[in-house]
Chain A
Amino acid sequence: MNIVVLVKQVPDSGAERTLSPADNTVERGSASNVINEMDEYAIEEALKIKEAHGGEVTVLTMGPERAAESIRKALSMGPDKAVHISDEALHGSCAVATSKVLAAALGTLNADLILCGAESTDGRVQVMPHMLAERLGVAALTGARKLTVDGGTLTVERQTEEGYEVVTASTPAVVSVWDTINEPRYPSFKGIMAAKKKPVQALTLADLGVPADEVGFAGATSAVLESSKRPPRSAGTKITDEGDGGVRLVEFLASEKFV
Chain B
Amino acid sequence: MAEVLVVVEASAASGVKKVTLEMLTVARSLGSVSAVVFGSEDHSARLGEFGAEKIYAASGDDIDGYLVAPKATVLADLVRRVQPAAVLLGSTQEGKEIAGRLAVKLDNGLLTDAVEVAADGTATQVVFAGSAIVKSKVTRGLPIVTLRPNSVTPTPAAASPQVEQLSVTVSDVDKLARISERVAEQKGSRPELTEASIVVSGGRGVGNADNFKLVEETADLLGGAVGASRAAVDSGYYPHQYQVGQTGKTVSPQLYVALGISGAIQHRAGMQTSKTIVAVNKDPEAPIFELADFGVVGDLFKVVPQANEEIRKRK
Chain A residues near B (Cβ < 8 Å):
13-14, 16-19, 24, 37-38, 94-96, 99, 121-122, 124-131, 133-135, 137-143, 145, 155, 159-170, 173, 178-180, 220-230, 232-233, 235-241, 244-250, 252-254, 256, 258-259
Contact = CB atoms under 8 A, between A and B. Distances in A.
| Chain B contact residues: helix, strand, loop or mixed | mixed
Interface string B171-207: 0010011111111110100001000001000000000
A221 B140 contact: yes
28 contacts: A14-B265, A19-B127, A124-B250, A127-B103, A131-B103, A133-B176, A134-B72, A139-B67, A139-B176, A161-B241, A162-B185, A167-B177, A169-B176, A226-B134, A227-B132, A228-B132, A230-B131, A237-B295, A238-B284, A239-B294, A241-B302, A241-B303, A246-B302, A246-B310, A249-B307, A250-B310, A252-B293, A258-B255
A122 B290 CA distance: 23
Nearest 3 pairs of A and B residues by beta carbon: A246-B306, A241-B298, A127-B100
A142 B69 CA distance: 12
Contact of B105 (A134, A142, A178): A134
A163 to B, nearest CB: 4
Interface string B110-143: 1111000000001000111111111111111100
Contacts of B4: none
Contacts of B308: 246
A94 B111 CA distance: 10
Nearest to A136: B173
A40 B273 CA distance: 28
A246 B257 CA distance: 13
A229 B306 CA distance: 39
A94 B110 CA distance: 9
Contacts of A249: 278, 280, 294, 296, 303, 307
A133 B292 CA distance: 43
B297 A241 contact: yes
B255 A127 contact: no
A151 to B, nearest CB: 16
Interface stretch (B23-31, B52-60, B91-99, B155-163): B91-99
Nearest to A172: B176
B43 interface: no
A143 B314 contact: no
B69 A165 contact: no
A96 B141 CA distance: 12
Given A179-B247, A246-B303, A246-B305, A256 B276 contact: yes
Nearest to A256: B276
Given A96-B104, A230-B131, A236-B294, 16 more contacts: A16-B131, A127-B97, A130-B69, A139-B176, A162-B11, A164-B185, A221-B109, A225-B122, A229-B131, A238-B295, A241-B296, A246-B305, A246-B310, A249-B280, A256-B276, A259-B314
Contacts of A165: 179, 181-183
Nearest to B297: A240
Nearest to B247: A179
A140 to B, nearest CB: 6
A37 B183 contact: no
Interface in B68-118: 68-69, 72, 93, 96-97, 99-101, 103-105, 107-113
Contacts of A220: 109, 139-140
Contacts of B284: 238, 240
A141 B303 contact: no
B297 A13 contact: no
A159 B93 CA distance: 10
Contacts of A137: 173
